[in-house]
Amino acid sequence: MSLAYRKQKFQDWFTQQWVILWGRKINPAEYFWLTGPFGELNGIGESFIYQLAQKENLTVIRNCSSKGLLHSISNLDLTENEIKNLSRKVIDFYERTADYKLQLNVKWNPLFKPFGFFVSRLFSQRINQLNIPTENIQESENLTNEIIELISNGNVKYIIWLRKLQSTEKIIYSGIYSTCTLPSKTTCIKAIFPLPKGNATVILKPTVGNKNELILESSGLKFGDAGFYFLLCDSKGNYWSQYVRSFTDKLVVSEEQENLKARQTLKLWNLKVANFDYSIIK
pLDDT tens per residue, range 77-116: 999 999 999 999 999 999 999 999 999 999 999 999 887 7
pLDDT tens per residue, range 198-214: 999 999 999 999 999 99
**Alpha-carbon distances, residue 9 vs 27, 115, 121, 130, 244 (angstroms):** 26, 19, 13, 18, 23
The mean pLDDT of 32-50, rounded to a whole number, is 89
pLDDT tens per residue, range 112-170: 988 777 677 666 666 677 777 777 766 789 999 999 999 999 999 999 999 999 988 88
pLDDT tens per residue, range 223-275: 999 999 999 999 999 999 999 999 999 999 999 988 999 999 999 999 999 99
3-state SS record for the chain: CCCCCCCCCHHHHHHHHHHHHHCEEECHHHCCCCCCCCEECCECCCHHHHHHHHHHCCEEECCCCCCCCCCCHHHHCCCHHHHHHCCHHHHHHHHCHHHCEEEEEEEECHHHHHHHHHHHHHHHHHHCCCCCCCCCEEEEEEEEEEEEEEEECCEEEEEEEEEEECCCCCEEEEEEEEEEECCCCCEEEEEEEEEECEEEEEEEEEEECCCCCEEEEECCCCECECEEEEEEECCCCCEEEEECCCEEEEEEEEEECCEEEEEEEEEECCEEEEEEEEEEEC
pLDDT tens per residue, range 258-267: 899 999 999 9
Q: What is the pTM assigned to this prediction?
A: 0.93
